[in-house]
Structure 1
Protein backbone atom coordinates (compact mmCIF):
# COMPACT_ATOMS: atom_id res chain seq x y z
CA UNK A 1 0.00 0.00 0.00
CA UNK A 2 1.31 3.42 -0.96
CA UNK A 3 1.76 6.11 1.68
CA UNK A 4 0.92 9.40 0.00
CA UNK A 5 1.94 12.56 1.83
CA UNK A 6 0.06 15.81 1.22
CA UNK A 7 1.26 19.24 2.33
CA UNK A 8 -1.21 21.86 3.52
CA UNK A 9 -0.64 25.36 2.19
CA UNK A 10 -1.77 26.70 5.58
CA UNK A 11 1.02 28.89 6.91
CA UNK A 12 3.04 28.98 3.69
CA UNK A 13 3.88 32.29 2.04
CA UNK A 14 4.60 33.40 -1.49
CA UNK A 15 2.84 32.74 -4.78
CA UNK A 16 1.39 29.35 -5.71
CA UNK A 17 4.38 28.56 -7.92
CA UNK A 18 6.86 29.12 -5.10
CA UNK A 19 4.80 27.04 -2.70
CA UNK A 20 4.16 24.08 -5.01
CA UNK A 21 7.74 23.98 -6.24
CA UNK A 22 8.98 23.79 -2.66
CA UNK A 23 6.44 21.08 -1.79
CA UNK A 24 7.42 18.95 -4.79
CA UNK A 25 11.14 19.33 -4.10
CA UNK A 26 10.58 18.15 -0.53
CA UNK A 27 9.13 14.87 -1.79
CA UNK A 28 5.45 15.34 -1.03
CA UNK A 29 2.91 13.62 -3.25
CA UNK A 30 0.27 16.33 -3.23
CA UNK A 31 -1.21 19.45 -1.71
CA UNK A 32 -4.27 20.11 0.41
CA UNK A 33 -5.83 23.56 0.55
CA UNK A 34 -8.91 25.65 -0.06
CA UNK A 35 -10.04 25.77 -3.66
CA UNK A 36 -8.19 28.64 -5.37
CA UNK A 37 -10.19 31.68 -6.49
CA UNK A 38 -11.53 31.58 -10.06
CA UNK A 39 -8.86 33.94 -11.37
CA UNK A 40 -6.13 31.58 -10.09
CA UNK A 41 -7.69 28.30 -11.21
CA UNK A 42 -5.85 27.91 -14.52
CA UNK A 43 -2.50 28.70 -12.90
CA UNK A 44 -3.13 26.26 -10.05
CA UNK A 45 -4.07 23.46 -12.46
CA UNK A 46 -0.95 24.10 -14.51
CA UNK A 47 1.29 24.00 -11.44
CA UNK A 48 -0.23 20.77 -10.18
CA UNK A 49 0.52 19.17 -13.53
CA UNK A 50 3.96 20.77 -13.82
CA UNK A 51 5.09 19.52 -10.42
CA UNK A 52 3.19 16.21 -10.65
CA UNK A 53 1.25 16.87 -7.46
CA UNK A 54 -2.14 15.44 -6.53
CA UNK A 55 -4.76 17.66 -4.93
CA UNK A 56 -7.21 17.26 -2.06
CA UNK A 57 -9.52 20.30 -2.03
CA UNK A 58 -10.65 21.62 1.33
CA UNK A 59 -14.10 23.17 1.73
CA UNK A 60 -16.08 24.48 4.68
CA UNK A 61 -19.70 25.29 5.44
CA UNK A 62 -21.16 28.47 6.86
CA UNK A 63 -24.30 30.60 6.66
CA UNK A 64 -26.73 28.32 4.86
CA UNK A 65 -24.68 25.21 5.60
CA UNK A 66 -26.44 22.97 3.08
CA UNK A 67 -26.16 25.47 0.24
CA UNK A 68 -22.54 26.32 1.00
CA UNK A 69 -21.65 22.62 1.15
CA UNK A 70 -23.16 21.93 -2.27
CA UNK A 71 -21.82 25.07 -3.93
CA UNK A 72 -18.26 24.65 -2.64
CA UNK A 73 -18.27 20.94 -3.38
CA UNK A 74 -19.28 21.65 -6.98
CA UNK A 75 -16.41 24.11 -7.22
CA UNK A 76 -13.97 21.54 -5.81
CA UNK A 77 -15.15 18.94 -8.32
CA UNK A 78 -13.82 21.10 -11.15
CA UNK A 79 -10.40 19.65 -10.19
CA UNK A 80 -11.63 16.02 -10.45
CA UNK A 81 -10.28 15.02 -7.02
CA UNK A 82 -10.44 11.53 -5.58
CA UNK A 83 -11.76 12.94 -2.33
CA UNK A 84 -12.63 16.27 -0.73
CA UNK A 85 -11.99 17.35 2.85
CA UNK A 86 -14.80 19.28 4.52
CA UNK A 87 -15.28 21.26 7.73
CA UNK A 88 -18.97 20.47 8.09
CA UNK A 89 -21.88 21.96 10.08
CA UNK A 90 -21.38 23.38 13.59
CA UNK A 91 -21.03 22.16 17.15
CA UNK A 92 -23.76 24.53 18.39
CA UNK A 93 -26.39 22.95 16.15
CA UNK A 94 -28.84 20.61 17.82
CA UNK A 95 -28.33 16.97 16.96
CA UNK A 96 -31.49 17.07 14.83
CA UNK A 97 -30.06 20.01 12.87
CA UNK A 98 -26.78 18.14 12.40
CA UNK A 99 -28.70 15.10 11.18
CA UNK A 100 -30.57 17.20 8.67
CA UNK A 101 -27.29 18.59 7.36
CA UNK A 102 -25.66 15.17 6.96
CA UNK A 103 -28.76 13.69 5.35
CA UNK A 104 -28.37 16.42 2.73
CA UNK A 105 -24.60 15.91 2.52
CA UNK A 106 -24.88 12.14 1.99
CA UNK A 107 -27.49 12.60 -0.76
CA UNK A 108 -25.32 15.27 -2.41
CA UNK A 109 -22.22 13.08 -2.32
CA UNK A 110 -24.16 10.20 -3.87
CA UNK A 111 -25.65 12.45 -6.54
CA UNK A 112 -22.26 13.91 -7.47
CA UNK A 113 -20.38 10.59 -7.18
CA UNK A 114 -17.73 11.92 -4.81
CA UNK A 115 -16.56 10.82 -1.39
CA UNK A 116 -16.24 13.63 1.12
CA UNK A 117 -14.08 13.24 4.21
CA UNK A 118 -15.71 15.25 6.99
CA UNK A 119 -12.88 16.42 9.22
CA UNK A 120 -12.95 15.83 12.98
CA UNK A 121 -12.59 19.43 14.06
CA UNK A 122 -13.43 21.76 16.90
CA UNK A 123 -16.41 24.06 16.26
CA UNK A 124 -17.84 21.53 13.78
CA UNK A 125 -20.42 18.78 14.22
CA UNK A 126 -17.48 16.37 14.54
CA UNK A 127 -15.91 18.33 17.40
CA UNK A 128 -15.82 15.35 19.79
CA UNK A 129 -15.45 11.60 19.72
CA UNK A 130 -18.88 11.05 21.25
CA UNK A 131 -20.85 13.35 18.94
CA UNK A 132 -19.05 12.05 15.88
CA UNK A 133 -19.85 8.48 16.89
CA UNK A 134 -23.55 9.35 17.16
CA UNK A 135 -23.46 10.77 13.64
CA UNK A 136 -21.55 7.79 12.26
CA UNK A 137 -24.16 5.42 13.67
CA UNK A 138 -26.89 7.46 11.98
CA UNK A 139 -25.07 7.61 8.63
CA UNK A 140 -23.29 4.41 7.55
CA UNK A 141 -21.91 6.10 4.42
CA UNK A 142 -20.34 9.03 6.29
CA UNK A 143 -16.54 9.17 5.96
CA UNK A 144 -13.96 11.14 7.91
CA UNK A 145 -10.70 12.99 7.85
CA UNK A 146 -9.25 11.96 11.21
CA UNK A 147 -7.51 14.70 13.16
CA UNK A 148 -7.60 13.33 16.67
CA UNK A 149 -5.72 16.31 18.12
CA UNK A 150 -9.04 18.17 18.29
CA UNK A 151 -10.68 15.44 20.31
CA UNK A 152 -7.75 15.37 22.72
CA UNK A 153 -8.12 19.02 23.67
CA UNK A 154 -11.94 18.93 23.71
CA UNK A 155 -11.93 16.02 26.17
CA UNK A 156 -8.75 17.11 28.01
CA UNK A 157 -7.53 13.55 27.73
CA UNK A 158 -5.68 11.13 25.51
CA UNK A 159 -9.09 9.57 24.82
CA UNK A 160 -8.55 6.68 27.21
CA UNK A 161 -12.28 6.47 27.94
CA UNK A 162 -13.38 7.11 24.34
CA UNK A 163 -11.69 4.26 22.51
CA UNK A 164 -14.91 2.62 21.31
CA UNK A 165 -15.84 5.88 19.62
CA UNK A 166 -12.31 6.34 18.29
CA UNK A 167 -12.29 2.85 16.77
CA UNK A 168 -15.59 3.52 15.03
CA UNK A 169 -14.11 6.72 13.61
CA UNK A 170 -11.04 4.82 12.44
CA UNK A 171 -13.22 2.42 10.48
CA UNK A 172 -14.75 5.37 8.62
CA UNK A 173 -11.54 7.34 8.02
CA UNK A 174 -10.31 7.90 4.45
CA UNK A 175 -7.82 10.72 5.08
CA UNK A 176 -5.53 11.50 8.00
CA UNK A 177 -4.11 14.65 9.57
CA UNK A 178 -1.17 13.89 11.85
CA UNK A 179 -1.02 16.88 14.14
CA UNK A 180 -0.25 16.01 17.77
CA UNK A 181 -2.48 17.54 20.41
CA UNK A 182 -2.22 17.60 24.19
CA UNK A 183 -4.71 17.94 27.02
CA UNK A 184 -4.69 21.72 26.96
CA UNK A 185 -4.26 22.48 23.28
CA UNK A 186 -4.69 21.12 19.75
CA UNK A 187 -1.00 21.39 18.89
CA UNK A 188 2.03 20.56 21.01
CA UNK A 189 4.70 23.28 20.82
CA UNK A 190 7.06 20.90 18.97
CA UNK A 191 6.36 17.18 18.38
CA UNK A 192 10.12 16.50 18.36
CA UNK A 193 10.51 17.67 21.96
CA UNK A 194 11.07 14.88 24.51
CA UNK A 195 8.54 16.37 26.94
CA UNK A 196 5.81 15.50 24.43
CA UNK A 197 7.00 11.97 23.72
CA UNK A 198 3.91 10.46 25.39
CA UNK A 199 1.50 12.52 23.28
CA UNK A 200 3.39 11.70 20.09
CA UNK A 201 3.43 7.99 20.85
CA UNK A 202 -0.28 7.86 21.71
CA UNK A 203 -1.23 9.66 18.49
CA UNK A 204 1.15 7.46 16.50
CA UNK A 205 -0.54 4.34 17.87
CA UNK A 206 -3.84 5.60 16.48
CA UNK A 207 -2.19 6.30 13.11
CA UNK A 208 -0.70 2.79 13.14
CA UNK A 209 -4.17 1.33 13.63
CA UNK A 210 -5.58 3.44 10.80
CA UNK A 211 -2.82 2.12 8.55
CA UNK A 212 -3.68 -1.48 9.51
CA UNK A 213 -7.37 -0.83 8.83
CA UNK A 214 -6.53 0.49 5.36
CA UNK A 215 -4.44 -2.63 4.74
CA UNK A 216 -7.24 -4.91 5.92
CA UNK A 217 -9.68 -3.14 3.59
CA UNK A 218 -7.34 -3.78 0.68
CA UNK A 219 -6.79 -0.09 0.03
CA UNK A 220 -4.13 0.78 -2.54
CA UNK A 221 -3.05 3.93 -0.68
CA UNK A 222 -3.38 5.96 2.48
CA UNK A 223 -3.34 9.76 2.28
CA UNK A 224 -1.75 11.75 5.11
CA UNK A 225 -1.32 15.46 5.75
CA UNK A 226 1.25 16.21 8.52
CA UNK A 227 -0.62 19.44 9.19
CA UNK A 228 0.65 21.80 11.88
CA UNK A 229 -0.58 25.36 12.17
CA UNK A 230 1.38 28.61 11.77
CA UNK A 231 2.18 31.16 14.52
CA UNK A 232 -0.98 32.03 16.36
CA UNK A 233 -1.94 28.37 16.22
CA UNK A 234 1.66 27.43 16.89
CA UNK A 235 2.96 28.66 20.25
CA UNK A 236 4.78 31.99 20.19
CA UNK A 237 6.99 33.84 22.65
CA UNK A 238 5.26 36.50 24.76
CA UNK A 239 5.70 40.12 23.69
CA UNK A 240 7.59 39.32 20.48
CA UNK A 241 5.11 36.83 18.98
CA UNK A 242 8.05 34.91 17.56
CA UNK A 243 7.23 31.26 16.73
CA UNK A 244 8.99 28.74 18.92
CA UNK A 245 9.54 26.28 16.06
CA UNK A 246 9.92 26.37 12.28
CA UNK A 247 6.60 25.34 10.74
CA UNK A 248 8.07 23.97 7.51
CA UNK A 249 10.60 21.83 9.38
CA UNK A 250 8.01 20.55 11.85
CA UNK A 251 5.68 19.44 9.04
CA UNK A 252 8.52 17.83 7.08
CA UNK A 253 9.78 16.05 10.17
CA UNK A 254 6.28 14.73 10.81
CA UNK A 255 5.92 13.60 7.19
CA UNK A 256 9.18 11.64 7.41
CA UNK A 257 8.25 10.26 10.82
CA UNK A 258 4.94 8.98 9.41
CA UNK A 259 6.58 7.42 6.36
CA UNK A 260 9.29 5.69 8.37
CA UNK A 261 7.02 4.41 11.09
CA UNK A 262 4.20 3.17 8.87
CA UNK A 263 6.56 1.65 6.31
CA UNK A 264 8.01 -0.53 9.08
CA UNK A 265 4.71 -1.88 10.36
Structure 2
Protein backbone atom coordinates (compact mmCIF):
# COMPACT_ATOMS: atom_id res chain seq x y z
CA UNK A 1 0.00 0.00 0.00
CA UNK A 2 1.40 3.42 -0.97
CA UNK A 3 1.83 6.19 1.56
CA UNK A 4 -0.77 8.27 -0.31
CA UNK A 5 -3.41 5.57 0.05
CA UNK A 6 -2.91 5.55 3.84
CA UNK A 7 -3.74 9.24 4.17
CA UNK A 8 -7.28 10.08 5.24
CA UNK A 9 -9.63 12.74 3.93
CA UNK A 10 -12.72 13.96 5.77
CA UNK A 11 -15.49 16.17 4.44
CA UNK A 12 -17.45 18.30 6.88
CA UNK A 13 -20.62 20.33 6.56
CA UNK A 14 -20.82 23.79 8.07
CA UNK A 15 -23.64 24.32 10.57
CA UNK A 16 -23.72 27.93 9.44
CA UNK A 17 -24.53 26.61 5.97
CA UNK A 18 -27.54 24.79 7.40
CA UNK A 19 -29.14 28.07 8.46
CA UNK A 20 -32.07 29.47 6.52
CA UNK A 21 -32.51 32.98 5.14
CA UNK A 22 -33.41 34.19 8.64
CA UNK A 23 -30.07 32.99 10.00
CA UNK A 24 -31.41 30.11 12.13
CA UNK A 25 -31.49 26.34 11.83
CA UNK A 26 -34.83 25.31 10.28
CA UNK A 27 -35.18 22.34 12.66
CA UNK A 28 -33.70 21.12 15.94
CA UNK A 29 -29.92 20.68 16.13
CA UNK A 30 -30.18 16.91 16.52
CA UNK A 31 -32.34 16.66 13.39
CA UNK A 32 -29.89 18.76 11.37
CA UNK A 33 -26.93 16.69 12.55
CA UNK A 34 -28.75 13.49 11.68
CA UNK A 35 -29.42 14.82 8.19
CA UNK A 36 -25.73 15.61 7.78
CA UNK A 37 -24.62 12.18 9.02
CA UNK A 38 -27.12 10.34 6.82
CA UNK A 39 -25.88 12.29 3.78
CA UNK A 40 -22.40 10.83 4.30
CA UNK A 41 -20.48 13.76 5.75
CA UNK A 42 -17.68 12.91 8.15
CA UNK A 43 -18.23 15.81 10.49
CA UNK A 44 -19.45 19.33 11.07
CA UNK A 45 -17.99 22.81 11.53
CA UNK A 46 -19.44 25.07 14.21
CA UNK A 47 -18.65 27.60 16.94
CA UNK A 48 -16.86 25.88 19.80
CA UNK A 49 -16.03 28.42 22.48
CA UNK A 50 -19.01 28.25 24.87
CA UNK A 51 -18.78 25.29 27.30
CA UNK A 52 -22.48 24.36 27.36
CA UNK A 53 -22.84 24.63 23.59
CA UNK A 54 -19.67 22.62 22.98
CA UNK A 55 -20.74 19.89 25.39
CA UNK A 56 -24.12 19.42 23.71
CA UNK A 57 -22.68 19.60 20.21
CA UNK A 58 -20.03 17.04 21.11
CA UNK A 59 -22.60 14.71 22.67
CA UNK A 60 -24.90 14.77 19.65
CA UNK A 61 -22.11 14.63 17.06
CA UNK A 62 -20.40 11.70 18.80
CA UNK A 63 -23.64 9.74 18.92
CA UNK A 64 -23.87 10.08 15.12
CA UNK A 65 -20.22 9.35 14.39
CA UNK A 66 -19.50 12.93 13.34
CA UNK A 67 -16.22 14.74 14.01
CA UNK A 68 -16.06 18.44 14.85
CA UNK A 69 -14.11 21.34 13.46
CA UNK A 70 -14.37 24.00 16.17
CA UNK A 71 -14.43 27.67 15.22
CA UNK A 72 -13.42 30.58 17.42
CA UNK A 73 -12.87 34.30 16.99
CA UNK A 74 -10.16 35.43 19.45
CA UNK A 75 -8.96 39.00 19.68
CA UNK A 76 -6.05 38.45 22.05
CA UNK A 77 -3.58 35.67 22.84
CA UNK A 78 -5.35 34.87 26.10
CA UNK A 79 -8.70 34.46 24.34
CA UNK A 80 -7.45 31.13 23.00
CA UNK A 81 -6.72 29.56 26.41
CA UNK A 82 -10.28 28.70 27.53
CA UNK A 83 -11.21 27.38 24.08
CA UNK A 84 -8.27 24.99 24.11
CA UNK A 85 -9.54 23.71 27.47
CA UNK A 86 -13.05 23.24 26.07
CA UNK A 87 -11.80 21.46 22.94
CA UNK A 88 -9.51 19.25 25.03
CA UNK A 89 -12.41 18.27 27.26
CA UNK A 90 -15.01 17.58 24.58
CA UNK A 91 -12.75 16.66 21.65
CA UNK A 92 -12.38 17.97 18.13
CA UNK A 93 -10.73 17.15 14.83
CA UNK A 94 -9.10 20.60 14.89
CA UNK A 95 -9.74 24.19 15.89
CA UNK A 96 -9.90 26.97 13.33
CA UNK A 97 -9.04 30.51 14.38
CA UNK A 98 -10.78 33.39 12.66
CA UNK A 99 -8.56 36.04 14.19
CA UNK A 100 -10.83 38.94 15.08
CA UNK A 101 -7.96 41.42 15.04
CA UNK A 102 -6.75 43.87 12.41
CA UNK A 103 -3.22 44.96 13.36
CA UNK A 104 -1.72 47.63 11.15
CA UNK A 105 1.86 46.41 11.54
CA UNK A 106 3.45 43.09 10.69
CA UNK A 107 5.29 43.09 14.03
CA UNK A 108 2.04 43.33 16.00
CA UNK A 109 0.44 40.56 13.94
CA UNK A 110 3.46 38.27 14.37
CA UNK A 111 3.40 38.75 18.15
CA UNK A 112 -0.29 37.86 18.29
CA UNK A 113 -0.04 34.77 16.10
CA UNK A 114 3.18 33.58 17.71
CA UNK A 115 1.37 33.66 21.06
CA UNK A 116 -1.39 31.46 19.68
CA UNK A 117 1.17 29.07 18.21
CA UNK A 118 2.88 28.67 21.57
CA UNK A 119 -0.43 27.87 23.24
CA UNK A 120 -1.35 25.44 20.45
CA UNK A 121 1.79 23.42 21.21
CA UNK A 122 0.14 22.35 24.47
CA UNK A 123 -2.70 20.37 22.84
CA UNK A 124 -2.76 17.24 20.72
CA UNK A 125 -5.05 18.51 17.95
CA UNK A 126 -4.25 21.03 15.19
CA UNK A 127 -5.01 24.72 15.63
CA UNK A 128 -5.22 26.42 12.24
CA UNK A 129 -5.43 30.09 11.24
CA UNK A 130 -8.10 30.75 8.62
CA UNK A 131 -7.59 33.02 5.63
CA UNK A 132 -10.58 35.33 5.88
CA UNK A 133 -11.66 38.89 5.17
CA UNK A 134 -11.88 41.36 8.06
CA UNK A 135 -9.45 39.22 10.02
CA UNK A 136 -5.69 39.34 10.58
CA UNK A 137 -5.32 37.40 7.30
CA UNK A 138 -7.57 39.83 5.39
CA UNK A 139 -4.96 40.78 2.80
CA UNK A 140 -3.20 38.18 0.68
CA UNK A 141 0.13 40.03 0.58
CA UNK A 142 0.08 40.69 4.33
CA UNK A 143 -0.56 36.97 4.92
CA UNK A 144 2.35 36.06 2.67
CA UNK A 145 4.54 38.39 4.74
CA UNK A 146 3.32 36.62 7.88
CA UNK A 147 4.40 33.29 6.42
CA UNK A 148 7.91 34.65 5.84
CA UNK A 149 8.11 35.62 9.50
CA UNK A 150 6.33 32.49 10.78
CA UNK A 151 7.28 29.66 8.37
CA UNK A 152 5.69 27.02 10.64
CA UNK A 153 2.29 28.76 10.64
CA UNK A 154 -0.47 26.34 9.68
CA UNK A 155 -3.30 27.89 7.70
CA UNK A 156 -6.87 26.86 6.95
CA UNK A 157 -7.41 27.98 3.37
CA UNK A 158 -10.63 29.68 2.36
CA UNK A 159 -9.52 31.00 -1.00
CA UNK A 160 -12.84 32.66 -1.78
CA UNK A 161 -11.91 35.65 0.35
CA UNK A 162 -8.76 36.39 -1.63
CA UNK A 163 -10.44 35.96 -5.00
CA UNK A 164 -13.25 38.40 -4.25
CA UNK A 165 -11.21 40.61 -1.92
CA UNK A 166 -8.45 41.24 -4.46
CA UNK A 167 -10.72 40.89 -7.51
CA UNK A 168 -8.46 38.19 -8.93
CA UNK A 169 -9.38 37.83 -12.60
CA UNK A 170 -10.15 34.78 -14.68
CA UNK A 171 -7.72 33.49 -15.69
CA UNK A 172 -5.49 34.57 -12.82
CA UNK A 173 -2.15 36.19 -13.56
CA UNK A 174 1.03 34.27 -12.93
CA UNK A 175 1.73 36.26 -9.77
CA UNK A 176 -1.78 35.51 -8.51
CA UNK A 177 -1.28 31.79 -9.06
CA UNK A 178 2.09 31.74 -7.33
CA UNK A 179 0.70 33.62 -4.34
CA UNK A 180 -2.33 31.35 -3.96
CA UNK A 181 -0.10 28.28 -4.29
CA UNK A 182 2.08 29.62 -1.47
CA UNK A 183 -1.02 29.82 0.72
CA UNK A 184 -1.92 26.25 -0.24
CA UNK A 185 1.55 24.92 0.55
CA UNK A 186 1.06 26.23 4.08
CA UNK A 187 -2.52 25.01 4.50
CA UNK A 188 -3.67 22.02 6.52
CA UNK A 189 -7.38 22.16 5.77
CA UNK A 190 -9.90 23.89 3.52
CA UNK A 191 -13.19 25.72 3.65
CA UNK A 192 -15.02 25.14 0.40
CA UNK A 193 -16.77 27.96 -1.41
CA UNK A 194 -16.39 29.10 -5.01
CA UNK A 195 -16.03 32.85 -5.53
CA UNK A 196 -15.52 35.11 -8.50
CA UNK A 197 -13.77 38.46 -8.64
CA UNK A 198 -17.15 40.08 -7.87
CA UNK A 199 -19.07 37.57 -5.70
CA UNK A 200 -17.88 35.72 -2.61
CA UNK A 201 -20.23 32.75 -3.10
CA UNK A 202 -21.33 31.57 -6.52
CA UNK A 203 -24.01 28.95 -7.14
CA UNK A 204 -21.82 26.11 -8.35
CA UNK A 205 -24.64 24.50 -10.36
CA UNK A 206 -25.00 27.46 -12.75
CA UNK A 207 -23.39 26.92 -16.13
CA UNK A 208 -21.92 30.43 -16.30
CA UNK A 209 -19.96 29.78 -13.12
CA UNK A 210 -18.22 26.60 -14.28
CA UNK A 211 -14.94 28.37 -15.20
CA UNK A 212 -14.68 29.51 -11.56
CA UNK A 213 -15.57 26.03 -10.30
CA UNK A 214 -12.78 24.67 -12.51
CA UNK A 215 -10.29 27.19 -11.12
CA UNK A 216 -11.09 26.39 -7.50
CA UNK A 217 -10.99 22.67 -8.28
CA UNK A 218 -7.52 23.16 -9.74
CA UNK A 219 -6.38 24.97 -6.61
CA UNK A 220 -7.90 22.40 -4.25
CA UNK A 221 -6.19 19.67 -6.25
CA UNK A 222 -2.87 21.48 -5.89
CA UNK A 223 -3.37 21.83 -2.13
CA UNK A 224 -4.35 18.20 -1.65
CA UNK A 225 -1.43 16.91 -3.68
CA UNK A 226 0.97 19.11 -1.75
CA UNK A 227 -0.43 17.79 1.55
CA UNK A 228 -0.08 14.21 0.34
CA UNK A 229 3.59 14.78 -0.48
CA UNK A 230 4.48 16.20 2.94
CA UNK A 231 6.58 14.01 5.20
CA UNK A 232 5.41 15.61 8.48
CA UNK A 233 1.70 14.89 8.03
CA UNK A 234 -0.28 13.68 11.02
CA UNK A 235 -4.01 13.04 11.26
CA UNK A 236 -6.33 13.62 8.34
CA UNK A 237 -7.01 16.42 5.88
CA UNK A 238 -10.37 18.17 6.20
CA UNK A 239 -12.55 20.04 3.75
CA UNK A 240 -15.67 21.89 4.91
CA UNK A 241 -18.51 22.62 2.54
CA UNK A 242 -19.32 26.16 3.65
CA UNK A 243 -22.12 27.59 1.54
CA UNK A 244 -23.43 30.25 3.85
CA UNK A 245 -26.91 31.77 4.05
CA UNK A 246 -27.75 35.28 2.82
CA UNK A 247 -26.09 37.70 2.48
CA UNK A 248 -23.28 35.30 1.48
CA UNK A 249 -25.68 33.40 -0.73
CA UNK A 250 -26.98 35.17 -3.82
CA UNK A 251 -30.68 35.95 -3.52
CA UNK A 252 -33.67 36.83 -5.67
CA UNK A 253 -35.74 39.99 -5.38
CA UNK A 254 -37.54 38.50 -2.37
CA UNK A 255 -34.32 37.81 -0.48
CA UNK A 256 -34.51 34.05 -1.00
CA UNK A 257 -31.65 31.78 -2.10
CA UNK A 258 -31.44 31.38 -5.86
CA UNK A 259 -30.35 27.75 -5.37
CA UNK A 260 -30.81 24.95 -2.86
CA UNK A 261 -27.64 25.30 -0.79
CA UNK A 262 -28.04 21.85 0.73
CA UNK A 263 -28.11 20.26 -2.71
CA UNK A 264 -25.09 22.33 -3.72
CA UNK A 265 -23.29 21.19 -0.56
CA UNK A 266 -23.86 17.60 -1.67
CA UNK A 267 -22.53 18.50 -5.11
CA UNK A 268 -19.44 20.04 -3.53
CA UNK A 269 -18.91 16.98 -1.33
CA UNK A 270 -19.00 14.74 -4.39
CA UNK A 271 -16.70 17.08 -6.31
CA UNK A 272 -14.02 17.27 -3.64
CA UNK A 273 -14.07 13.53 -2.99
CA UNK A 274 -13.54 12.96 -6.71
CA UNK A 275 -10.61 15.38 -6.61
CA UNK A 276 -9.17 13.57 -3.59
CA UNK A 277 -9.51 10.19 -5.30
CA UNK A 278 -7.71 11.49 -8.37
CA UNK A 279 -4.92 12.98 -6.27
CA UNK A 280 -4.32 9.77 -4.31
CA UNK A 281 -4.16 7.76 -7.52
CA UNK A 282 -1.76 10.25 -9.07
CA UNK A 283 0.48 10.58 -6.02
CA UNK A 284 0.36 6.85 -5.32
CA UNK A 285 1.82 6.10 -8.73
CA UNK A 286 4.78 8.35 -7.97
CA UNK A 287 5.56 6.91 -4.52
2:162 is the counterpart of 1:151: yes
| Contact 1:129–1:162 (CA under 8 A) maintained in structure 2 | no
In 1: Cα distance, 2:56 partner to 2:123 partner: 25
Please show how residues 200-219 of structure 1 align to structure 2 within 5 Å.
200-217=213-230, 219=233
Q: The residue matched to 1:57 in structure 2 has which SS?
A: strand
Q: Deviations over 1:192-220 (max 9, x none)?
A: 11111111111110000111112112546
Instruction: Using the TM superposition, give the Cα deviation of residue 17 of structure 1 relative to its aligned residue in structure 2, in angstroms.
Output: 0.7
| Contact 1:32–1:58 (CA under 8 A) maintained in structure 2 | yes
Which residue does the alignment assign to 1:38?
51
Which residue does the alignment assign to 1:168?
182
Please show how residues 96-107 of structure 1 align to structure 2 within 5 Å.
96-107=107-118
Please show how residues 55-70 of structure 1 align to structure 2 within 5 Å.
55-62=68-75, 65-70=76-81
The 1:145–1:4 alpha-carbon spacing in structure 2 relative to 1, beyond 3 Å, is same
Unaligned runs of 5+ in 1: none
In 2: Cα distance, 1:6 partner to 1:85 partner: 13
Q: Deviations over 1:107-152 (max 9, x none)?
A: 1112345421111000111123211111111112210110101000
Which residue does the alignment assign to 2:130?
119
In 2: Cα distance, 1:208 partner to 1:38 partner: 36
In 2: Cα distance, 1:140 partner to 1:213 partner: 16
> What is the TM-score of this pair, normalised by structure 1?
0.91
Aligned match for 2:67, one of 50, 54, 65: 54
Instruction: Using the TM superposition, give the Cα deviation of residue 55 of structure 1 relative to its aligned residue in structure 2, in angstroms.
Output: 1.0
In 2: Cα distance, 1:5 partner to 1:72 partner: 23
The 1:24–1:96 alpha-carbon spacing in structure 2 relative to 1, beyond 3 Å, is same
Aligned match for 2:255, one of 241, 244, 255: 241
In 2: Cα distance, 1:99 partner to 1:2 partner: 32
In 1: Cα distance, 2:104 partner to 2:124 partner: 27
2:152 is the counterpart of 1:138: no
In 1: Cα distance, 2:53 partner to 2:131 partner: 29
Instruction: Using the TM superposition, give the Cα deviation of residue 92 of structure 1 relative to its aligned residue in structure 2, in angstroms.
Output: 4.9
In 2: Cα distance, 1:253 partner to 1:45 partner: 26
Which residue does the alignment assign to 1:227?
242
Q: The residue matched to 1:5 in structure 2 has which SS?
A: strand
> What is the TM-score of this pair, normalised by structure 2?
0.84
Q: Deviations over 1:25-55 (max 9, x none)?
A: 0000011110174334443222122111111
| Contact 1:106–1:141 (CA under 8 A) maintained in structure 2 | no
Q: The residue matched to 1:241 in structure 2 has which SS?
A: coil
Q: Deviations over 1:44-77 (max 9, x none)?
A: 2221221111111111123xx2222333333233
The 1:222–1:40 alpha-carbon spacing in structure 2 relative to 1, beyond 3 Å, is closer
2:203 is the counterpart of 1:197: no
Instruction: Using the TM superposition, give the Cα deviation of residue 95 of structure 1 relative to its aligned residue in structure 2, in angstroms.
Output: 2.0
